[in-house]
A = this chain, B = another copy of it.
Amino acid sequence: MSIERLIYLPLGGAGEIGMNCYVYGYGRPDQERLIVVDLGVTFPDMDGTPGVDLILPDVSWLAERADRIEAVFITHGHEDHIGAIAHHWEALGKPTIYARAFTANLGRHKMQDGGHDPKVIKTVGKFPESVKAGPFTVSFLPISHSIPESAGLLIETPAGKVIHSGDFKLDETPVVGEAFDRELWLEAAKGGVKALMCDSTNVFSPLPGRSEASLGPAIQELVANAKGAVVATTFASNVARLKTLAEAGERAGRSICLMGRAMRRMIEAAVETGVLTGFPKVISPEHAAEIPRENLMLIVTGSQGERRAASAQLAGGRYNGVELKEGDLFLFSSKTIPGNERGVIRIMNQLSEKGVDVVDDGGGKYHVSGHANRPDLEAMHELVKADVLVPMHGEHRHLREHARLGAEKGMYSVVAVNGTMLALQGKAPEVAGFVETGRTYLDGSMQVGALDGVIRERIRMALNGLVMVNLILDENDEPLGEPWCEIRGLAEVGRSRAPLVDVLEEDIDQWLRRAPGKVRADDDKLEEGIKRVVRTVTLEEIGKKVEVTTVISRLS
């Protein structure tokens, strides 16, 4: 047996939904040549990452081995698979990035926005076309999902074939893009597959997945019966859904208008790459207000309640001159991603206040998932017939359930969360080690480590408020005047009914006067003492343990 090995290492997406980043390597241990599959992001929230712009996978492990990276492959254009390319490309040693045409189109815009050469993204046709990347030969296997030209990857290695499913569903009538092509996948899997790395998102959904095309009739009926303006929102990248919605509007004799930059960008990319044809004629947002409302259908961004998106703007007031009112209809042709409920509900209530009827996907009539449900996962297992199943793209509970499903079918199944390196060259997969992984925050223009404490400081200020103490000492360590306090995010007056800053200044002053000379001569001791006084005062006065910053200036 060769001492070369085949490794698999998830750096993002295994143990979470979002921020996908997977590494495959082949070669002698610690000299493997590497390819990267997907470089995605995940989105910040106020709970854990206030003020952060984007969350990227921590790719330090890869960056330290940039000279061993052969290429990057992007399975599809969702942000959690492609969103980090421009942010991490340099750190990875400026590798070539391969994708199918639609994905490449989106990727090139990202590279350009990031100030990089868009030409490093190469377009690849579908299997049997392939790319040679060191010891790997990689082909794109078209598969249906909720964005055009999604692909799984066939990764041929000296140790056998690996199939990386990407995000997928088995849809034979996907409205836009290729129907699921079983024959092509069978062809790719021919001769035996060593390992299947498989999407796990919907492993807890017991019913067979529904096709995108199944939504048409219900949406058409809803739009046909609407009296006032119709607004529909969905994920900007779901081009098939945009088409279904637009066609329902067109059938009902309505002018179609797309609102939201992301959505127009997607349609543009789909048209440019020939993925989308026959999309109904649209009017520009500037002209929407001129159309009688009973003849208008808006298709808008913001299905997740995002504050700046078109949905929120329309719910809050006028947008592009359009104002919704009594008798209008607003359709959420989407599901609410866990964590976004509050934002979505806020919009629904704002619309209700305007008298707009809101229809959501309560009964599953107006939305289908882009991921394979449990029976479809089983169908994929059956089709690929791999020796090993490695569940990916899911929270821990999804990976665990999916591994259990695989084990029941007789596959070697292993839960490998981010940072777990598997060796796959042998009969059974082995854990070859653990790698430090984590998250990097894009905060403004800087990348900040999740454990650097920067964001923790912000969270603490948000929870506890801040007292700033300013103290000037003369050359004899005597205070020059009273200490000066400022507060941020705290009640101005506490229990004693005196201004909080006055109480603070007086108590710090008294403490200072009693403090021995060696304390006053020592900035650390002074800071520590002042912090203690401040915390005691604020706890008594306003019942809070606050954050404290002390600035000591010494005149000399």
Contact = CB atoms under 8 A, between A and B. Distances in A.
Interface of A: 15, 45-47, 50-51, 204, 338-339, 341-342, 345, 348-349, 351-353, 355, 358, 362, 395-397, 400, 443-446, 448, 454-455, 457-459, 461-466, 468, 470, 472, 480-481, 484, 486, 488-492, 494-495, 538-539, 542-544, 547, 549, 551, 553, 555
B445 A542 contact: yes
A454 B349 contact: no
A13 to B, nearest CB: 14
B397 A348 contact: yes
Given A396-B349, A445-B543, A491-B454, A46 B462 contact: yes
A539 B464 CA distance: 26
Contacts of A470: 470, 551, 553
A494 B446 contact: yes
Contact of A553 (B349, B445, B488, B553): B553
Interface of A is mostly: mixed
Contacts of A459: 50, 462
19 contacts: A15-B349, A45-B46, A45-B342, A51-B489, A338-B341, A349-B395, A352-B397, A352-B400, A443-B491, A454-B489, A458-B461, A458-B463, A459-B462, A461-B461, A461-B462, A461-B488, A466-B466, A468-B549, A484-B553
Contacts of A353: 396
Contacts of A351: 397
Given A396-B349, A457-B488, A339 B338 contact: no
Contact of A443 (B204, B484, B542, B555): B542
B51 A465 contact: yes
A508 to B, nearest CB: 14
A430 B15 CA distance: 56
B490 A50 contact: no
Contacts of A538: 444
Contacts of A555: 472, 480, 555
B466 A50 contact: no
